[in-house]
Structure 1
Amino acid sequence: MQSGLIIKALSGFYYVEDHGYIYQCRARGKFRKDDQKPLVGDYCEFTIENETDGYVRKLLPRRNVLIRPPICNVDQALLVFSAKEPDINTLLLDRFLVLIEHLDIEPIICISKMDLVSQSYIQAEMTAYEKAGYRVYYVSARENQGIEDIKHLFKDKVTVITGQSGVGKSSLLNALDIHLNIDTNEISKALGRGKHTTRHVELLKMYGGYVADTPGFSSLELEMEPIDIAHSFHDFKELSQTCKFRGCLHDSEPHCSVKEAVDLGNISKERYEHYLMFLKESKLLKEKKYG
């Protein structure tokens, strides 16, 4: 058997790359019996029937899995949020960060459409995130601003490009590689959001790595334990080592290092308020699930 990487799934076929060749494969019936489905990003063992076709026989262990969009073994996520049209939404950004960090995927923040705003204004908005240790890049696909600065990020990585709809993810990919010519739609000003233009997940070779253009998250519900919410704010997790109580949720507990850091201005009050909202949501979901 040969080993390869599933780079595209479409209409029941899995396109497996091995040493520069791509084979169109079907999955054997045993996957359905085992309640298992191959995903883009899966490393697999497969057999070939001829020069172009074959069968996926076995999936190798996964490091992580995103359910919506369906992709696995992701190294990092480029979270694209626009500076304008739509305006940057830090509550939604924090929600994405929690979901990504919970899966042990490294998030990188990319602010698009920088040609529409003052750079100093947006950089001031992002200060709290840079202070928390996140990498933040500022780009404009239209003006080709900052595009060169992000190309090095993709080397030897599987990167998911995702974020709020209408922020210019496909335009960014087209600016990175003019040969892609990915379909884009102008944002609907009436709705304040973009139309989904990406309909399937595919890994694209780019700058020594793979980039996934995805339809975006169809669900942003925080289906995780409250303590996982706390750990998914990585700067909170580091501080929690000095909280008085083990398993501190940084809410009503006394002698909490995170709350002290908020009071001292070392953690953004806005991010902390977002955290409390997510914590409450997680508790409510847990109550709903278990009664």
Structure 2
Amino acid sequence: MAEGRIVKALSGFYYVKNESGIFQCRGRGVFRKQKLTPLVGDYVEFAADNHKEGYVTVLKERKNELKRPPISNVDQAILVFSAREPDFSAQLLDRLLVHVEASGIDAMICISKMDLLTEEERKSLEDMGQMYRDLGYEVVHTSVYVDEMIQSLRPYLEGKVSLFAGQSGVGKSSLLNALRPELDLQVGDVSKHLGRGKHTTRHVELIPVNSGLVADTPGFSALDFENMTEVELSHCFPEFLMYVDDCKFRGCLHVNEPKCAVKTALEAGEISQLRYNHYVRFLSEIQNQKRRY
């Protein structure tokens, strides 16, 4: 029996890497009975007589996992957004941050194409970036040039397993192509009508970049909260956590409850109104889902 890490999943095969190379494996039938699905990033035990015909036999415990994209044991998520083409979406960023927070993964934010903005627009987006820094997130602003993005991001990739995610069409595949030119990943044009790019990435794969691993993943277009409770959502907003112990009611949802410390902080300007509005919208989605079921 050998041990390794799944670095790619494609068409029912799992590609497991260790010091002896990469082994093409299938999953054991028992995984289906146990409702377990091997994920890219999983540490596993496997049996293989050669590099083409192996079987994953044991899934090791995960420190974290994401459902969309399906990946595990990630150190950080680099959320790549553009200032223009497509336009920056603070709501989508907050939606992704909620899912990253819920999964116990560190997040950093990269906003590209800043040079396409007017001076006033640039200042506004830089101020927004500072708001996220104040919440504890790393934020990088770059130009439309991929070389500048690489120079800005490379230090954050060293020795870590990183996940690139964000808007479709913002240049994630272009960035990975520049980091590893031999990949020749397909790059999609941005649709002028829809304001988003075509989804060009068809599977999840961990790619060696210097001393780290980077996941190329499908672009996100929508994320729901079907497996999240109202209280869990509130815990995914770091700015709420320093106030929740002062709310009158345990399990306060910070909307209609009296003597809510989060609402008091909001009224005092200590919590972003934009972020709070997104929280209320996401909370409404969760409550509507519960009513449907």
Structure 2-normalised TM-score? 0.92
Q: Which residue matches 2:35?
A: 35
Q: Which residue matches 2:22?
A: 22
Q: Which residue matches 2:81?
A: 81
Quick check: 1:68–1:218 contact (8 Å CA) kept in 2?
A: no
Q: Distance in 2 between the 1:40 and 1:57 partners?
A: 15
Q: Which residue matches 1:283?
A: 287
Q: Distance in 1 between the 2:181 and 2:246 partners?
A: 50
3-state DSSP class of the match of 1:166? Answer: coil
- 1:49-60 map, 5 Å: 49-51=49-51, 53-60=53-60
Percent of pairs with identical residues: 51
- 1:125-144 map, 5 Å: 125-140=128-143, 142=145, 144=147
Q: Distance in 1 between the 2:104 and 2:23 partners?
A: 30
Quick check: 1:140–1:147 contact (8 Å CA) kept in 2?
A: no
Quick check: 2:40–2:206 contact (8 Å CA) kept in 1?
A: yes
The 1:152/1:20 distance shift into structure 2, 3 A limit, reads: farther
| Paired letter, 2:218 | P
| Paired letter, 1:82 | S
| Paired letter, 2:145 | R
Unmatched 5+ residue regions in structure 2? none
Q: Which residue matches 1:8?
A: 8
Q: What displacement does 1:149 show?
A: 2.4
User: Structure 2 residue aligned with 1:190, among 189, 193, 203?
Assistant: 193
Unmatched 5+ residue regions in structure 1? none
Q: What displacement does 1:123 show?
A: 0.4
Q: Which residue matches 2:276?
A: 272
Q: Which residue matches 2:96?
A: 96
| Paired letter, 1:202 | E
Quick check: 2:146–2:178 contact (8 Å CA) kept in 1?
A: no
3-state DSSP class of the match of 1:161? Answer: strand
User: Structure 1 residue aligned with 2:235, among 231, 234, 239?
Assistant: 231
Question: Following TM superposition, where does structure 1 have runs of at least 4 consecutive aligned residues deviating by more than 6 angstroms?
Answer: none
Aligned length: 289
User: Structure 2 residue aligned with 1:206, among 188, 204, 209?
Assistant: 209
Q: Which residue matches 2:125?
A: 122
The 1:181/1:20 distance shift into structure 2, 3 A limit, reads: farther
Quick check: 2:5–2:42 contact (8 Å CA) kept in 1?
A: yes
Q: What displacement does 1:143 show?
A: 5.4
3-state DSSP class of the match of 1:179? Answer: helix
The worse-fitting range, judged by mean Cα deviation, of 20-29 and 206-215 is 20-29
Cα offsets for 1:179-238 (capped at 9, x unmatched): 332210220112211101100110001132211111133641112110011001112123
3-state DSSP class of the match of 1:193? Answer: coil
Quick check: 2:74–2:105 contact (8 Å CA) kept in 1?
A: yes
Q: What displacement does 1:175 show?
A: 2.9
CA RMSD of aligned residues (A): 1.8
Cα offsets for 1:221-263 (capped at 9, x unmatched): 1121100110011121232122222222111122222212212
Q: Distance in 1 between the 2:259 and 2:20 partners?
A: 57
Quick check: 2:46–2:57 contact (8 Å CA) kept in 1?
A: yes
The 1:188/1:282 distance shift into structure 2, 3 A limit, reads: same
The 1:206/1:143 distance shift into structure 2, 3 A limit, reads: closer
| Paired letter, 1:24 | Q
| Paired letter, 1:286 | K
Structure 1-normalised TM-score? 0.93
Q: What displacement does 1:115 show?
A: 2.9
Quick check: 1:128–1:267 contact (8 Å CA) kept in 2?
A: no
| Paired letter, 1:207 | N
Quick check: 1:141–1:172 contact (8 Å CA) kept in 2?
A: no
